[in-house]
Chain A
């Protein structure tokens, strides 16, 4: 697939994404087409997004064709975990030099691919184009094709140079590479009547491992994980699933819609965060298969898990009751976390709606009630203002905002990519409660807010002095 304007447009106008169903009848995804603003843009590039989506395929090598900024500054920095192969964690790059920029990097790329195959023998190689290699016009497709033919290891071009857009668009371009070159290229060794794919879950901090046992217990088989802790081969067989379950993100919606068209696999959107959402996820999957026994099993699991949870959460509920949270995160995750927080008896006083669709917003509104603040923009200044106004007890947001909160001496919990604790599923709920409790009730807050004795002395004496002056 060459990256054409038409292709990008198509990805930006995914009919399955409600971003595109806004009232004015505009047809493009706002969060995707929104041009990055010079001077104020903050997010990652399309290459970043594509690697977030694909690097979790653990037995593949990920080769970045570009100058050192792309790979050197980013490899080995993400939290998605593997239960086996580690080759995905290695940083491979062609590390372009000035000569390559002048004479082209195709030969170098071909040699790099050959070397990876010989030395590391990965299940596949994903090759990422980046700004400089896209600008000098290296023909990624041709090189990948030649290498695939020669070495019989799949070599997959990923066209997501940073300058084409945001991280969001990059996610989809990553999905596009899977659709074009991976999904449907192999048959699964066997199939069951309850095969599903999980799409958009990257096993950050091992989250998936808190959920997979539940599916197994219910008798639902996860055929392909796209892409958390995935093996290349399982993604190849994803076209044989009966149902696609999109997790917590519309990032890979293009995969779900395309697989519906091509392979007639319906999809549902679910979330693993919070008791309510986890229950609903299991129920919806069971309902989809319409199998009585399965539904009964799912109800049993839910009953068992919630009973266990009630016991485990009781002390936290007591301590977190009425605590006020400002939440700043993207998309579907926001309402999902809102309901999780409410499960714990916390109050969400403000949340982001930046990447949310109209549907998400409606749901958030309903959850938050009348006084809830919907944050469109999340500049650090804006966040601090809202925290002050609402007298919130903590900020829950992505790592990028961590120091916004801490520097203002406000408790913080990381909810995005780089964190280290799994919050998904029933077990994750306990983990999240524990972390929230630690954050809010830490004994440090008094200390970091405390003025020094001499500052207090000065203040007191200043007022005395002022009195005297009067």
Chain B
């Protein structure tokens, strides 16, 4: 069992953590026709926007209630109301994600009451879903804010179908897939196609693969053009199972179980042979379990996945030379840390140090004795002598100082291309990770080999 160290420090040096509101906004961006709205002073939104734009290289819709000194003293109702009206008028969103910030939480704005007043005053907004979530940035991290937003998304009642909006009918059983913050748009895409390959209809929450994957639209747009639709959210009750990807999605899955009685299963990670095997095996059971048990069906695993599995086994063989015995230090959010640390361990690498951002039960089962909730200065102290550092782009300087190569994961990554589509889960994604990291380690070995020294 891993010991979680949480030193209470006065000073954070080179923060690893990003704010809850940023995480919530990211989750909201996986809904179609979405405009996230920060209830706070304008700077929080501007910073969040810069981070997301630089990471995904996409235009990112975000807006602010633009609280000022005066409105902070008097209360923010007017600003929330005005912001919602302006957004509806200018951007015509299908849904608004309203999130709080440190400022408005400290002040104690009661969002439920404010929204109620706005709704009473403006009956014309009746059909517009507004998902509200509390995300003070003096608590938690990006992953926590993201998770809180997902919990709000699945807890919100989107009302019945409108007459002009027929529910999508499908012969295939529907499953809800809850995607934790450690999944990139490319990961979500891969996950979706795997689930579909088993003859299932997945509802991804959130579906970043249609909003932040980086693609050209025909017309300019001001809200997200893809993602989970409100129609999909209205029929979550039809899912026969919830697949929660990432430990942080457990509570959201429980909320769905509470509301609709949908059973759930948590898959804390989806990289590495064992993890993917277990996931596919479970998927194959969903269809067969619906059949008559007197005539057991042979589980049907799609041929391309079976082939990918053999490829992965080959890749594991080819790459293991470079991983064996290597010391790796990681600073990542809990879900991503768990997935990555185990994959590396399964390849024969040693986890030298692990730093993370926030509490999570999953931290107790890492392949290392201690994990520190801390910052990049902690990583720098712990990582001396590592063969590889894995963290976000802020790790560039420390990796130079430690003379160890850096593999970038997490948020923000602002000095690398292709993050909208990078996929590191499933058999295919695992192979990608092994190639990426294997190449770095191989190059490093070549640098230090006797042949180059002479």
Contact = CB atoms under 8 A, between A and B. Distances in A.
20 contacts: A36-B42, A38-B78, A38-B86, A39-B63, A39-B66, A41-B66, A43-B42, A44-B42, A44-B46, A46-B43, A63-B11, A68-B15, A72-B17, A74-B50, A90-B14, A112-B11, A135-B106, A163-B68, A407-B217, A409-B216
Interface in B376-427: 394, 397, 414
Contacts of B69: 161, 163-164
Given A40-B63, A41-B66, A97-B138, A70 B106 contact: no
A69 B22 contact: yes
Interface in B32-50: 37, 40-50
Interface string B80-101: 1011111100100000000001
Contact of A94 (B12, B43, B107, B216): B12
A100 interface: yes
B137 A37 contact: no
A41 B64 contact: yes
Contacts of B216: 407, 409, 448
Contacts of A74: 47, 50
A93 B69 CA distance: 22
A344 B391 CA distance: 44
Interface stretch (B53-61, B119-127, B185-193): B53-61
A95 interface: yes
B272 interface: no
Contacts of B14: 75-76, 90-91
B137 to A, nearest CB: 4
A132 interface: yes
Given A77-B414, A407-B220, A98 B136 contact: yes
B287 interface: no
B359 interface: no
Contact of A403 (B44, B59, B66): B59
A427 interface: no
Interface in A419-468: 448
Nearest to B215: A407
Given A96-B138, A101-B106, A73 B65 contact: no
B13 to A, nearest CB: 6
A35 B18 contact: no
A416 B40 CA distance: 25
B13 A92 contact: yes
A68 B394 CA distance: 15
A42 interface: yes
B17 A38 contact: no
B21 interface: yes
Contacts of A418: 50, 54
A167 to B, nearest CB: 8
Given A40-B63, A46-B43, A92 B86 contact: no
Contacts of A76: 14, 394
A95 B12 contact: yes
B183 interface: no
B138 A36 contact: no
B102 A67 contact: yes
A47 interface: yes
A381 interface: yes
A170 to B, nearest CB: 9
B138 A39 contact: no
Interface string B110-144: 00000000000000000000000000111101000
Nearest to A408: B220
B66 A111 contact: no
B138 A100 contact: yes
A73 B220 CA distance: 28
Interface string B271-296: 00000000000000000000000000
A94 B10 contact: yes
A12 to B, nearest CB: 13
B103 interface: yes
B15 A403 contact: no
A404 B137 CA distance: 29
Top 10 nearest A-B pairs (CB, nearest first) are A45-B43, A39-B86, A403-B59, A39-B83, A38-B83, A111-B10, A36-B66, A112-B11, A162-B43, A69-B137
Given A46-B43, A131-B102, A163-B72, A40 B86 contact: yes
Given A75-B15, A131-B43, A163-B67, 13 more contacts: A38-B83, A39-B65, A44-B42, A63-B11, A73-B22, A86-B397, A131-B102, A162-B42, A380-B59, A381-B220, A400-B53, A403-B53, A409-B216
Contacts of B42: 36, 41-45, 162, 166
B83 A93 contact: no
Contacts of A48: 43, 46-47
Interface of A: 35-48, 63, 66-77, 86, 89-98, 100-101, 107-109, 111-112, 115-116, 131-132, 135-136, 161-166, 380-381, 384, 399-400, 402-404, 407-409, 418, 448
B96 to A, nearest CB: 10
A434 to B, nearest CB: 21
Given A131-B103, A165-B68, A38 B137 contact: no
A276 B332 CA distance: 50
B177 to A, nearest CB: 28
B47 A44 contact: yes
A37 B414 contact: no
Contacts of B147: none
B48 to A, nearest CB: 6
A112 B11 CA distance: 5
A91 to B, nearest CB: 5
Contacts of B229: none
A67 B139 CA distance: 8
Nearest to B107: A135
Given A37-B86, A67-B137, A163-B103, A407 B11 contact: no
Contact of A95 (B15, B78, B85): B15
B397 A89 contact: yes
Given A67-B19, A408-B220, A131 B41 contact: yes
Nearest to A136: B106
B234 interface: no
A109 B9 CA distance: 11
Given A38-B66, A40-B63, A131 B17 contact: no
A384 B12 contact: no
B106 A132 contact: yes
B90 A69 contact: no
B309 interface: no
A115 B10 CA distance: 8
B27 to A, nearest CB: 16
Nearest to A90: B14
Given A39-B86, A69-B101, A77 B50 contact: yes
A116 B11 contact: yes
A107 B9 CA distance: 12
B79 interface: yes
A68 B136 CA distance: 10
Nearest to A92: B13
B50 to A, nearest CB: 7
B51 interface: yes
A38 B82 contact: yes
A92 B11 contact: yes
Among A38, A71, A93, chain B packs the most CB atoms within 10 A around the CB of A38
A153 B196 CA distance: 63
A165 B66 CA distance: 9
Among B59, B63, B72, chain A packs the most CB atoms within 10 A around the CB of B59
B138 A403 contact: no
Contacts of A92: 11-13
Contacts of B66: 35-39, 41
A101 B138 contact: yes
B134 to A, nearest CB: 12
A75 B392 CA distance: 13
Contacts of B86: 37-40
B350 to A, nearest CB: 29
Contact of A38 (B9, B79, B101): B79
B222 interface: yes
Given A68-B15, A116-B11, A448-B216, A404 B59 contact: yes
